[in-house]
Amino acid sequence: MRKILSLALGAAMAFACSEKAVEVDYTQLTDEERLEIAKEIAKNTIIVDGHMDLPFRMYNQGNTMTGEVYDFINRQESGNIDYVRAMEGGMDAPFMAIYIPAGYQDRGGAKDLADTLIMMVERLATTWPDKIALAKSPEEIEANFKKGLLSLPMGIENAAAIEDDLSNVEYFYNKGIRYMTLTHGKDNLVGDSSYDDAETHGGLSEFGKEVVAEMNRLGMIIDVSHITDRTFFDVAEISKAPIVATHSSARKFTPGFERNVSDEVIQKIAEKDGMVMITFGGSFLDQAYSEKNTANRAHIATWLEENGLTRRDEAAQEYINEYMEANKPNVHVSKVAEHIDHVVKLVGIDHVGLGSDFDGVGDSLPEGLKDASMYPNLIAELLKLGYSRADIEKICYQNFFRVWKAVEAAAGK
């Protein structure tokens, strides 16, 4: 049997090189054999990830305007991505999220922060031009892939970055921004956030409707992650182009969590020829994980109150670290594959992709998917579920490229 499986593995590896080769039934292979095939697929297939928060992590390192460049090129102990781990995992085009915390909506400075984060991403490309390049289109990502370069496309997370000036949408498009997440943690001038109970506008604001139309005109992808369902359906009604959730998972697995997308929302996204890019954070993937996290936070809050301490106190930090380590919930990479499989079964293989939220969800990432070196583990889980190489190529990049090009076509570009 071992010899037969080894022959099957060889046949599967040969499939990439010969159109006449017959793809084997990956479900019949061992986990080890599937992982080897997954590594080969990751190496030879473009992988696009819809959302990573590396720019804001670099910003928090404190070397923003000093001229010192964050050491992205070497393996880092912190964070979820660097050049080394990206190469190990076959990651080719991680979208750099230009993240604007909701606090900037009140105190100002949102556009300035966006400019700073964009500059920091640009600096990576100019510092290591033999390894990294910016990318503003599918064609540029493909060209960079052929040259062996890591592409860094960019998207804004939180339309607060444009402040109250519609012309800033075009300003950021011209700076290389190719999608914009309409809200983040709180309602803003554009629309309502799924994390905010205020329902300030009852959906998309009048200004938000102008923003959607302007994004359509420019060919900028509308990201519907973070918005309320009411805001989403307003966007879906108005947008003349496909829409994308760049980092959301399926609400089926987390009932009541509006930040994830419901089946009804997924179906409407597919109807608009868009896609859902499944995100990796544990609380997005599994209800039990989320509930355990909530219980842990409640326990810590009660303990602090009973002991008259704050999180800043040394004794509190020691207790919190020990308690959280002992009571940390777990979720496995296979759960990400389940979310992908749910979207596929609901609306088809053409409407799903990957949007990790690496560097944005702390230590809540699944076992087997802790950083950018581990994409082959996810591919192996998809092979185990019966997905073909062609299916995986769609999930990894072809679906997103189709949507991106359709958004450009709708703009007449």
* pLDDT score, position 43: 98
Instruction: Compute the average pLDDT of residues 293-305.
Output: 93
DSSP letters, 85-122, are: HHHHHT--EEEEEEE--TTHHHHS-HHHHHHHHHHHHH
Contacts of 237 (CB under 8 A, 6+ apart): none
DSSP alpha helices (H): ranges in 128-259? Answer: 138-147, 167-174, 206-218, 229-238
Residue-level pLDDT at 64 = 61
Q: Residues near 256 by Cβ (< 8 Å), separated by ≥ 6?
A: none
Residue from 132, 106, 100 nearest 118 by CA: 100
Whether the predicted model's global pTM rises above the 0.95 cut: no
Which tokens in the block code for residue 65? Answer: 């305007």
Q: What is the pLDDT of residue 61?
A: 86
The CA R_g of the chain, rounded to the nearest whole Å, is 21
Please give the average per-residue pLDDT across 3-30, as a whole number. Answer: 59
Check pLDDT > 70 for residue 21: no
pLDDT at 196: 97
C-alpha closest to that of 56 among 151, 182, 184, 165: 184
> Where does 46-284+333-410 sit in CATH, by number?
3.20.20.140
Q: What is the pLDDT of residues 86-143, one digit of tens each?
A: 999 999 999 999 999 999 999 999 999 999 999 999 999 999 999 999 999 999 999 9
pLDDT at 13 over 60: no
22 has pLDDT over 70? no
Mean pLDDT of the chain: 93
pLDDT of residue 24: 84
The ranges of the chain annotated as CATH 3.20.20.140 are: 46-284+333-410
Q: At what angle do helices 167-174 and 206-218 cross, to 10 degrees?
A: 30
